[in-house]
């Protein structure tokens, strides 16, 4: 009996220790600083759902049962998909990495999975592994690739108990949660082992989550106490390759084993969506947004953000120490909408001229409401003036010593005063930029 008690205590302690202990490897830390320098990535939501032109939640939103949904792969044949074109577009936009849906909530794998035939190679007339093609093209063009993977699965029978979504897809009312996790981990393992990737972007945890805010009317379905065994999954990944960066869209502070913290459609700490507002931890940060209103291709969605809005989002993200992962949802043929291509290329032009103030920087310590954010590299502080009312700019509590101030664009000097901690200068009409007027401050 005594022995059993001791064994039990040892097991509990081990459990606790493993829970709080994660020491990232040296190569992981290097990958994290690469990530923080990178600043801008392309998010790609693409799957058989794209065929319906009603975004990636269509299975849920139209209550499509599995046996009907399974028709989609049988005519998924994206003959215009061109990995080279997509990676080139990302590069033209000034993006340093791509994160693509290898499996979304619909459970369909967009890579060559040996764990299940429900994948692009085995189940579509197209029959090719688009994830492999992207991997090879990314390598050629020197950009990194991340795997988005939805842990929530509307297709797998063992995803049971159900969360609050996918309740009408016709899965049996029984299932084995551990068997589901084994399936999920096997897929994650093959992604980690068989592809040259930089990390994982997990999603779907919230389907089983009790949450502090009422996200949608679906709240009533929320189930408490489902154990995703995330740390087990993370440990497995880092055993395959310690440098893989792991992030999870759980909208909470990161847990042990994670390497970056992500925000969805919000700057770090903000909560305009209703599911944001998580505390900001100490890991590298990322936030993601759509160009229009949708992640997956949505035929009816014509509300595209302007180039100015997109650039400002990127600048604000950088000013808040976060990367910006900007989404495109390729069409059923694999091509990207013209409206999105032109916007991305124009953002890229802005970055060609101003990227120095973004890439490789960290958050500066100067912000004035939403109007001014700052980035910093070494002793150079970049003030990004996003909104200007009148000519004069006043920055209170400026506690740094200044060697020189100039307009970033033409390097002409800025007349300034720094008195009692208030930095004051003016931006004449002819020095104003349409998107973002940047002031370069060399600090002493």
Residues that bind ligand JFZ (CB under 6 A): 56-57, 203, 206, 215-216, 249, 264, 275, 288, 295
C-alpha 27, offset from chain centre: 21
Taking the least distance from each CB to ligand JFZ, the nearer of 148 and 382 is: 148
Taking the least distance from each CB to ligand JFZ, the nearer of 173 and 220 is: 220
Q: Give the DSSP H/E element, type plus range, for residue 37.
A: helix 26-38
Smallest distance, ligand JFZ to C-beta of residue 406, A: 39
Task: Give φ, ψ of 439 to 5 degrees.
Answer: -110, 130
Smallest distance, ligand JFZ to C-beta of residue 109, A: 15
| Residue given tokens 């740390």 in the structure block | 231
Smallest distance, ligand JFZ to C-beta of residue 348, A: 22
Smallest distance, ligand JFZ to C-beta of residue 76, A: 18
Q: Give the DSSP H/E element, type plus range, for residue 13.
A: helix 2-20
Smallest distance, ligand JFZ to C-beta of residue 275, A: 5
Based on its alpha-carbon atoms, the radius of gyration of the chain, rounded to whole angstroms, reads: 24
Q: Which two tokens stand for residue 440?
A: 């370069």
Smallest distance, ligand JFZ to C-beta of residue 81, A: 20
DSSP-assigned beta bridge partners for residue 71: none
Taking the least distance from each CB to ligand JFZ, the nearer of 77 and 273 is: 273
Taking the least distance from each CB to ligand JFZ, the nearer of 169 and 357 is: 169
Smallest distance, ligand JFZ to C-beta of residue 389, A: 35
Taking the least distance from each CB to ligand JFZ, the nearer of 57 and 382 is: 57
Smallest distance, ligand JFZ to C-beta of residue 424, A: 42
Taking the least distance from each CB to ligand JFZ, the nearer of 61 and 128 is: 61
Taking the least distance from each CB to ligand JFZ, the nearer of 57 and 76 is: 57
Using CA atoms, how far apart are residues 331 and 336, in angstroms rounded to an integer?
A: 6
Residue 141 CB neighbours (<10 A): 13
Smallest distance, ligand JFZ to C-beta of residue 115, A: 21
Order of strands, sheet of 392-395, starting from the edge strand that comes earlier in the sequence:
392-395, 422-426, 416-419
Taking the least distance from each CB to ligand JFZ, the nearer of 136 and 273 is: 273
Residue 360's closest CA among 373, 375, 374?
375
Taking the least distance from each CB to ligand JFZ, the nearer of 25 and 219 is: 219
Contacts of 12 (CB under 8 A, 6+ apart): none
Smallest distance, ligand JFZ to C-beta of residue 118, A: 18
Residue 345 CB neighbours (<10 A): 14
Taking the least distance from each CB to ligand JFZ, the nearer of 154 and 425 is: 154
Residue with nearest beta carbon to ligand JFZ: 215
Using CA atoms, how far apart are residues 365 and 376, in angstroms rounded to an integer?
A: 8
What is the torsional sign of CA 46, 52, 288, 103? negative
DSSP-assigned beta bridge partners for residue 103: 109, 149
The answer to whether 118 touches 163, Cβ cutoff 8 Å, is no
Q: Is 328 helix (H, G, I), strand (E, B) or coil?
A: strand
The answer to whether 375 touches 40, Cβ cutoff 8 Å, is no
The answer to whether 85 touches 93, Cβ cutoff 8 Å, is no
DSSP state of 117: S
């Amino acid at each position: 009996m005594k022995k059993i008690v001791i064994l039990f205590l040892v097991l509990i302690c081990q459990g606790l220790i493993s829970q709080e202990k994660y020491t990232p490897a040296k190569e992981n830390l290097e990958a994290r600083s690469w990530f923080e320098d990178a600043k801008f990535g392309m998010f790609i939501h693409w799957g058989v759902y794209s065929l319906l032109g009603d975004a990636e939640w269509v299975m849920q939103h139209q209550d499509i049962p599995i046996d009907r949904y399974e028709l989609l792969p049988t005519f998924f044949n994206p003959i215009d998909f061109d990995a080279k074109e997509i990676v080139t577009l990302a590069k033209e936009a000034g993006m340093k990495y791509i994160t693509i849906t290898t499996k979304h909530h619909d459970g369909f794998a967009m890579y060559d999975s040996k764990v299940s035939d429900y994948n692009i190679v085995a189940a579509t007339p197209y029959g090719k592994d688009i994830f492999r093609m992207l991997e090879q093209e990314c390598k050629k063009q020197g950009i990194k690739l991340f795997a988005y993977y939805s842990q929530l699965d509307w297709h797998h029978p063992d995803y049971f108990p159900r969360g609050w979504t996918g309740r009408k897809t016709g899965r049996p009312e029984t299932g084995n949660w551990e068997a589901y996790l084994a399936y999920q981990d096997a897929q994650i393992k093959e992604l980690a082992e068989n592809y040259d990737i930089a990390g994982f972007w997990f999603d779907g945890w919230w389907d089983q989550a009790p949450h502090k805010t009422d996200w949608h009317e679906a709240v009533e379905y929320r189930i408490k106490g489902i154990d995703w065994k995330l740390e087990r999954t993370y440990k497995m990944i880092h055993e395959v390759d310690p440098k893989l960066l792991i992030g999870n869209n759980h909208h909470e502070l990161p847990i042990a084993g994670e390497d970056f913290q992500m925000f969805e459609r919000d700057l770090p700490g903000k909560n305009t969506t209703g599911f944001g507002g998580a505390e900001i931890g100490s890991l590298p940060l990322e936030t993601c947004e759509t160009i229009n209103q949708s992640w997956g291709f949505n035929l009816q969605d014509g509300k595209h953000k302007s180039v100015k809005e997109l650039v400002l989002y990127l600048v604000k993200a950088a000013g808040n120490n976060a990367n910006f992962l900007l989404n495109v949802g390729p069409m059923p043929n694999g091509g990207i909408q013209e409206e999105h291509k032109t916007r991305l290329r124009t953002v890229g032009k802005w970055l060609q001229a101003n990227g120095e103030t973004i890439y490789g920087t960290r958050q500066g310590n100067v912000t004035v409401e939403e109007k001014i954010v700052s980035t910093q590299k070494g002793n150079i502080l970049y003030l990004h003036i996003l909104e200007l009312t009148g000519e004069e700019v006043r920055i209170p509590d400026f506690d740094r010593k200044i060697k020189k101030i100039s307009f970033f664009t033409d390097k002409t000097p800025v007349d300034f005063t720094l008195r009692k901690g208030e930095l004051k200068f003016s931006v004449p009409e002819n020095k104003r930029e349409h998107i973002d007027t940047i002031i370069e401050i060399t600090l002493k």
